[in-house]
């Protein structure tokens, strides 16, 4: 079973919601966030990227940055931009991007279930990023950004969500990027209980995005549990803010690669080495059509690469991923990129930017070759997580991104 908890959210007054809601902290650089929020004093970027309100050379991990985030959150509360709900609720959050629609349940997810492996992960976390999110939670005494969870769709939950979203939404607006955001407040005790009970039939949930936020929630819980001699397990710090979507509504896009050089090889030699593991065919369109196939843009032309049989283990949930096939059969042995997490010769381009962005980067001369990936499927993500393994870096790109500031989960009662 999965336990989800209602809570009393801190959220924007309706007249401010479009101005408060911001992209998540980790999709913008400090400079980009500073530019976006410069003329908008209520943007939630002032809370999740508080270094934008300090001198530009400020270390983003300094004590004053976390203090500024807490100060900015309190300012929004004091100015009645953010208001606290009076009773515990779940929230339904719908996003519409073109023809794609997804609706998730906003709730407190269980730290216990994360630690017990019933909220499954598919990525390793880095200590420095865990430290950052932990310090931000402690400074603000709140979960300011949600973890993106998913579960295998359940008809009972789907039907309940359809019924609850037939009422008028508390928020309904379209952001500057064209994505429409709608939110419903579910505070009727009967409906709250119905949602909570429906999730008792869900055996496990999976992290789609937000591994560092969930790991930080564990650390905050440990610190507060040690400091609380009357700990019961029901305190707010035992849960973390999550938006939980059924798996069949998710949209995973390609996560592409660009490389600066050919590792000292001329193009003819490079292509010859690539042919040892891939069938190569010149094409007009670089979009891959299926798994184990990718596009390669080199010298102003596209090629289709198909992994040769026997070059990867078919039954391995990790090494059978397209990103792993590329890494093990081309990036490492041919281009000399052993660790894509740290090698500065490689960069990653989210599919939301389109395949034209790969062409633009290579034509700019700053990058020599680009690889267009076939998107990782949600079933592949489940298989990796169920096996207790982790994906290679930059394997999935989920769109649309969850907006920050629509729902804040304070860690007090």
The predicted model gives 31-53 an average pLDDT of: 96
229 and 172 assigned to the same domain: yes
Domain hosting 44: range is 4-251+399-410
Tokens of 79: 């100015």
The predicted model gives 14-18 an average pLDDT of: 97
247 and 344 assigned to the same domain: no
Answer yes or no: is 269 within a domain. yes
287 and 336 assigned to the same domain: yes
Give the pLDDT of residue 125. Answer: 87
Tokens of 13: 């007054």
Answer yes or no: is 91 within a domain. yes
pLDDT tens-digit map of 226-250: 999 999 999 999 999 999 999 999 9
Task: For residue 393, name the pLDDT band (cuts at 50, 70, 90).
Answer: confident
Residue 279 bridge partners (DSSP): 306
362 and 404 assigned to the same domain: no
Give the pLDDT of residue 77. Answer: 98
Residue 35 bridge partners (DSSP): none
Phi-psi region of 141 (alpha: psi -120 to 50; beta: other; left: phi over 0): left
293 and 404 assigned to the same domain: no
To the nearest whole percent, how much of the chain has pLDDT over 90? 93
182 and 285 assigned to the same domain: no
The predicted model gives 180-197 an average pLDDT of: 98
pLDDT at 413 over 80: no
167 and 59 assigned to the same domain: yes
Q: Tell me the CATH number at 323.
A: 3.30.1760
pLDDT at 28 over 90: no
Look at strands 4-5 and 82-84 and give their pairing: unpaired
| Location of structure tokens 């309100």 | 53
35 and 163 assigned to the same domain: yes
Give the pLDDT of residue 325. Answer: 97
Cβ-contact 362, 286 below 8 angstroms: no
pLDDT at 221 over 90: yes
pLDDT at 153 over 90: yes
Give the pLDDT of residue 27. Answer: 84
Mean pLDDT, the chain, whole residue set: 96
Q: Measure Cα distances from 343 to 116, 258, 338, 347, 348 in Å.
A: 34, 12, 8, 9, 11
pLDDT tens-digit map of 114-133: 999 999 999 888 898 999 99
94 and 210 assigned to the same domain: yes
Answer yes or no: is 44 within a domain. yes
| 380 closest CA partner among 293, 325, 317, 294 | 317
To the nearest whole percent, how much of the chain has pLDDT over 70? 100
For the chain, the domain total comes to 2
Burial of residue 17 (number of CB atoms within 10 Å: 0-12, 13-18, 19+): buried
Q: Measure Cα distances from 293 to 41, 290, 321, 354 in Å.
A: 47, 6, 11, 18
213 and 304 assigned to the same domain: no
Answer yes or no: is 17 within a domain. yes
pLDDT tens-digit map of 333-389: 999 999 998 899 999 999 888 899 999 999 999 999 999 999 999 999 999 999 999
202 and 266 assigned to the same domain: no
């Amino acid at each position: 079973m999965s336990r989800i908890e209602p809570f009393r959210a801190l959220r924007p007054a309706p007249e401010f919601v479009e101005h408060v809601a911001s992209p998540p902290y980790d999709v913008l650089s400090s400079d980009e966030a500073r530019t976006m929020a410069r003329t908008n004093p209520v943007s939630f970027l002032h809370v999740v990227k508080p270094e934008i309100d300090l001198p530009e050379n400020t270390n983003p991990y300094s004590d004053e940055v976390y203090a500024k985030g807490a100060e900015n959150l309190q300012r929004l509360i004091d100015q009645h931009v953010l208001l606290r709900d009076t009773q515990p609720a779940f929230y339904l959050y719908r996003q519409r991007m073109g023809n794609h629609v997804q609706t998730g349940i906003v709730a407190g997810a269980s730290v216990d279930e994360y630690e017990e492996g019933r909220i499954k992960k598919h990525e390793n976390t880095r200590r420095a990023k865990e430290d950052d999110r932990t310090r931000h939670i402690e400074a603000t005494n709140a979960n300011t950004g949600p973890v993106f969870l998913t579960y295998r769709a359940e008809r009972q939950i789907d039907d309940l969500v359809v019924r609850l979203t037939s009422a008028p939404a508390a928020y309904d607006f379209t952001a500057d990027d064209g994505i429409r955001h709608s939110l419903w407040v579910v505070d009727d005790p009967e409906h709250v209980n119905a949602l909570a009970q429906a999730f008792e039939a869900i055996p496990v949930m999976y992290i789609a995005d937000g591994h560092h936020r969930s790991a930080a929630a564990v650390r905050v819980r440990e610190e507060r549990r040690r400091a609380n001699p009357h700990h019961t397990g029901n305190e707010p710090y035992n849960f973390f803010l999550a938006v939980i979507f059924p798996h069949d509504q998710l949209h995973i896009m390609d996560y592409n690669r660009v490389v600066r050089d050919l590792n000292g090889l001329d193009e003819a030699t490079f292509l010859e080495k690539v042919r040892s593991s891939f069938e190569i065919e010149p094409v007009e369109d670089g979009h891959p059509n299926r798994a184990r196939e990718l596009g390669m843009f080199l010298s102003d032309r596209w090629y289709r690469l198909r992994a040769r049989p026997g070059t990867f283990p078919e039954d391995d949930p990790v090494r059978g991923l397209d990103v792993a096939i590329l890494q093990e059969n081309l990036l490492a042995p041919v281009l000399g990129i052993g660790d894509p997490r740290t090698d500065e010769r490689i960069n990653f381009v989210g599919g939301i930017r389109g395949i034209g962005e790969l062409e633009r980067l290579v034509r700019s001369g700053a990058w020599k070759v680009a690889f267009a990936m076939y998107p990782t499927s949600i079933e592949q993500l489940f298989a990796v997580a169920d096996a207790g393994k982790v994906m290679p870096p930059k394997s999935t790109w989920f769109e649309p991104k969850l907006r920050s500031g629509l729902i804040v989960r304070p860690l007090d009662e």
